[in-house]
A and B are shown apart, each in its own frame.
Chain A
Amino acid sequence: MNILVCITHVPDTTSRIQFTDNNTKFDKSGVQFIIGPYDDYALARAVELRDQSGGKLTVLNVGEAETEPTLRKALAIGADEAVRINADPVDSLFVARQIAHHAKEGAYDLILMGRESIDFNGGMVHGMVGELLGMPSISPVMKLDIEGDKAVLSREIEGGKEFLEVNLPFIAGCQEPIAEWKIPNMRGIMSARTKPLNVIEPKEAEKAAEVKAYALPPAKGEVKLIEKENVEELVRLLNTEAKVL
């Protein structure tokens, strides 16, 4: 089994989000970066599948040199080799094109990634990669097993679950509880030192979209707590202050 896992390099969920350059750039100073949490689930399941069936697990990120510690962490968790496509991931189509170019050469049986990143939350890349490669793309996958040349999986749909069977190769956007995310152990961290991390230049490098500006959501208003016995006061405030009644 030859598996590709695409990971994002995103700010930790507790980071303070600020912008620079007239609100056109994200301010990375003092921000801790992590593997995208949904990608982390995909990686954890890929490690399990590789351990069950043997083969090779490659982890890929489209990003500049600063993302290499994140790729090394993925190697410490259990990937066999890493690929960094040396480019600023400007938009979803750009990223999908880079993944598709690499995947065409890699002959992967399975391409996994998170259902969405947690920085821009586009949730589009898996679908685009499927389209570019002419393969099925399924998301959000919550359970995934491989039986011969087929995958048996379940995904979340509106109001329920869908159980599917699909021929390999295909692309999955993953979410919990597909696997429990893994903490790298010390042996993994040591071995990550010597595993290959290949840097590839991007192809079809033109942007499909451009960010004009970012804006933060309005600051949270103050919370007023009203005792449950005091419904009249609540109604009065909703009327006079919040003006929603």
Chain B
Amino acid sequence: MAPEDFNYSQRKDHFEGVDFYELDELLTEEQKMVRLAVRDFVKKEISPYIEKWAQETHFPQEIVKKMGQLGVFGSYLPTEYGGGGLDYTSYGLMMQEIERGDSGMRSTASVQSSLVMYPIYAFGTEVQRKKYLPKLSSGEWLGCFGLTEPDHGSNPAGMQSRFKDMGDHFLLNGSKMWISNSPKADLALVWAKDENDRIHGLLLERGMEGFSTPETHNKWSLRASCTGELVFDNVKVPKENLLPGKSGLGAPLMCLDSARYGIAWGAIGAAMDCYHTALTYSKQRVQFGKPIAAFQLTQKKLSEMLTEITKAQVLAWRLGQLMDKGKASTTQISMAKRNNVAMALEVARECRQILGGMGITGDFSIMRHMMNLESVLTYEGTHDIHLLILGQHITGIPSFS
């Protein structure tokens, strides 16, 4: 079927949120205003177009500037660098609302905020902060984060990308894979080993000789966001582009903590959208002379979904409190990311069943969310790896090294 023949959904987005345990009482007026602003943004700029973008694997590059104007990039960084000076709970709520629209859109925002802006702020020089953060915050520039390699996913310490000190510059060789934003990124934060096997962060700008960003095609997931590789063929990187503040694997892992925190909230957004769609549909769809919402098996599905969404909300809210106090541990973040993404994927599958054949089509958001969440289950630490991180924390014995 040609894309122009496709009957994209023109259904208006009436999403209102799910709050069974009155958790809104735990949010400040400001946090609620942040959530509503991003929800309104999604209804205006994402919902009317997302099914078409996903069907046509189109990354809407203009959304980057719009998100920048809204202020979702680096919202928790200080205002002097173009950040928003907001708390982590607000950041979580933003990620929830954007992912309610689409996980791919949330991925674009997460990468820019947590994986590019955060490390430049945390590990960069004052010159690097002033040079890059305002451009990334406004959405004038798009950034990406290069850690994963073709042969090193769950084990990033084994990375093969390396740089040599050539006196007046570094010479970088290697490649990265599964990099969100890479084909359109103006800036890449690349993690590579020096001659002493120590991992450092390097800032690469598009246009540097020997640096290319081939796109990954034929994805069944995150189809409205762009993914690609980063290839370094004798790239001369100016010495002032090294992030001096932190080296070793701990540096990129700190960035991942922040991004995984956003995912723990984001997944709730995808789940709420599916639940909202399935609930609405089940009250309208009539079989055997009554709405399918009247059947016990539909009610079981809906009840279990609401229970799981509510549990995930409590987990995310408490994690936000810990983040704001600077007390959240990597293991606590692992638990929330793992639980909430798996919950959202399960909710999406159950909702798809409630919609029957209609759930298969691009007229509804559910199967798009479901396919997106398959990526989210794997990226930023797989579902299994987070289990092993928890296992190590509980027993004190690492099972993967």
- A residues with CB within 8 A of B: 14, 32, 68-69, 72-73, 76, 183-187, 189-190, 192-193
Central interface residue in B14, B29, B40, B69, by most chain A CB within 10 Å: B29
Q: Are B86 and A190 in contact (CB under 8 A)?
A: yes
Cβ-Cβ contact count across A and B, 8 Å cutoff = 50
Tell me, in angstroms, the Cα distance from A185 to B79 when the chains sit together. 13
Q: Which residues of A contact B30 (CB under 8 A)?
A: 72, 189, 192-193
Contact of B37 among A14, A185, A193 (CB under 8 A): A185
Q: How far is the CB of A7 from chain B (nearest CB, A)?
A: 15
Q: Which residues of A contact B75 (CB under 8 A)?
A: 186
Q: Are B33 and A187 in contact (CB under 8 A)?
A: no
Given the known inter-chain contacts A14-B14, A14-B16, please indicate yes or no for A186 contacting B29, CB distance below 8 A.
no
Q: Which residues of A contact B179 (CB under 8 A)?
A: none
Q: Which residues of B contact A14 (CB under 8 A)?
A: 14, 16
Residue-wise, chain B 155-193 has the 8 Å CB interface mask toward A (1 for contact) of 000000000000000000000000000000000000000
Check if B34 is an interface residue, CB within 8 A of chain A. Answer: yes
Q: Which residues of A contact B84 (CB under 8 A)?
A: 186-187, 190
Tell me, in angstroms, the Cα distance from A76 to B90 when the chains sit together. 15
Q: How far is the CB of B224 from chain A (nearest CB, A)?
A: 21
Tell me, in angstroms, the Cα distance from A184 to B72 when the chains sit together. 12
Tell me, in angstroms, the Cα distance from A83 to B86 when the chains sit together. 25
Tell me, in angstroms, the Cα distance from A187 to B77 when the chains sit together. 12
Q: Are A185 and B71 in contact (CB under 8 A)?
A: yes
Q: Are A73 and B85 in contact (CB under 8 A)?
A: no
Q: Are A186 and B37 in contact (CB under 8 A)?
A: yes
Tell me, in angstroms, the Cα distance from A73 to B35 when the chains sit together. 12
Given the known inter-chain contacts A14-B14, A14-B16, A190-B79, please indicate yes or no for A183 contacting B32, CB distance below 8 A.
no
The A-contacting residues of B in range 330-371, CB under 8 angstroms, are: none
Q: Are A183 and B33 in contact (CB under 8 A)?
A: no
- B residues with CB within 8 A of A: 14, 16, 29-30, 32-34, 36-37, 40-41, 44, 69-72, 75, 79, 84-86, 90
Q: Which residues of B contact A183 (CB under 8 A)?
A: 37, 40-41, 44, 70
What is the chain B residue whose CB lies nearest that of A189?
B33
Q: Which residues of A contact B32 (CB under 8 A)?
A: 69
Q: Which residues of B contact A184 (CB under 8 A)?
A: 33, 37
Q: Which residues of B contact A187 (CB under 8 A)?
A: 71, 79, 84
Q: Are A69 and B70 in contact (CB under 8 A)?
A: no
Tell me, in angstroms, the Cα distance from A68 to B28 when the chains sit together. 13
Central interface residue in B33, B75, B79, by most chain A CB within 10 Å: B33
Tell me, in angstroms, the Cα distance from A187 to B71 when the chains sit together. 7
Q: Which residues of B contact A72 (CB under 8 A)?
A: 29-30, 33
Contact of B69 among A32, A68, A185, A189 (CB under 8 A): A185
Q: Which residues of A contact B41 (CB under 8 A)?
A: 183
Tell me, in angstroms, the Cα distance from A189 to B38 when the chains sit together. 12
Given the known inter-chain contacts A69-B33, A183-B37, A185-B69, please indicate yes or no for A190 contacting B44, CB distance below 8 A.
no
Tell me, in angstroms, the Cα distance from A187 to B16 when the chains sit together. 24
Q: Which 8 residue pairs across A and B have the least CB separation, nearest first? A: A186-B71, A186-B84, A185-B71, A69-B29, A183-B40, A184-B37, A185-B70, A183-B37
Q: How far is the CB of B11 from chain A (nearest CB, A)?
A: 15
* Interface CB pairs A-B, < 8 A, 20: A14-B14, A69-B32, A69-B33, A72-B29, A73-B33, A183-B37, A184-B33, A185-B69, A185-B71, A186-B72, A186-B86, A186-B90, A187-B71, A187-B84, A189-B34, A189-B71, A189-B86, A190-B84, A190-B85, A192-B30
Q: How far is the CB of A128 from chain B (nearest CB, A)?
A: 31
Q: Which residues of B contact A73 (CB under 8 A)?
A: 33, 36
Q: Are B70 and A186 in contact (CB under 8 A)?
A: yes
Q: Which residues of A contact B40 (CB under 8 A)?
A: 183
Q: Which residues of A contact B72 (CB under 8 A)?
A: 186
Q: Which residues of A contact B85 (CB under 8 A)?
A: 190
Q: Are A76 and B33 in contact (CB under 8 A)?
A: yes
What is the chain A residue whose CB lies nearest that of B43?
A183
What is the chain A residue whose CB lies nearest that of B14?
A14
Tell me, in angstroms, the Cα distance from A189 to B71 when the chains sit together. 10
Central interface residue in A183, A185, A192, by most chain B CB within 10 Å: A183
Q: How far is the CB of A202 from chain B (nearest CB, A)?
A: 24
What is the chain A residue whose CB lies nearest that of B30?
A189
A-B contacts besides A183-B44, A189-B30, A189-B33, 7 pairs, CB < 8 Å: A14-B16, A185-B71, A186-B37, A186-B70, A187-B84, A189-B86, A190-B84
Q: How far is the CB of B84 from chain A (nearest CB, A)?
A: 4
What is the chain A residue whose CB lies nearest that of B82?
A187
Tell me, in angstroms, the Cα distance from A73 to B32 when the chains sit together. 10
Central interface residue in A69, A73, A185, A189, by most chain B CB within 10 Å: A189
Central interface residue in A185, A186, A190, by most chain B CB within 10 Å: A186
Q: How far is the CB of B110 from chain A (nearest CB, A)?
A: 16
Q: Are B16 and A186 in contact (CB under 8 A)?
A: no
Tell me, in angstroms, the Cα distance from A189 to B32 when the chains sit together. 10
What is the chain B residue whose CB lies nearest that of A184?
B37
Tell me, in angstroms, the Cα distance from A80 to B147 when the chains sit together. 45
Q: Which residues of B contact A32 (CB under 8 A)?
A: 16
What is the chain A residue whose CB lies nearest that of B36?
A73
Q: Are B44 and A186 in contact (CB under 8 A)?
A: no
Q: How far is the CB of B375 from chain A (nearest CB, A)?
A: 27
Q: How far is the CB of B116 from chain A (nearest CB, A)?
A: 18
Q: How far is the CB of A50 from chain B (nearest CB, A)?
A: 18
Q: Are A186 and B14 in contact (CB under 8 A)?
A: no
Tell me, in angstroms, the Cα distance from A76 to B72 when the chains sit together. 15
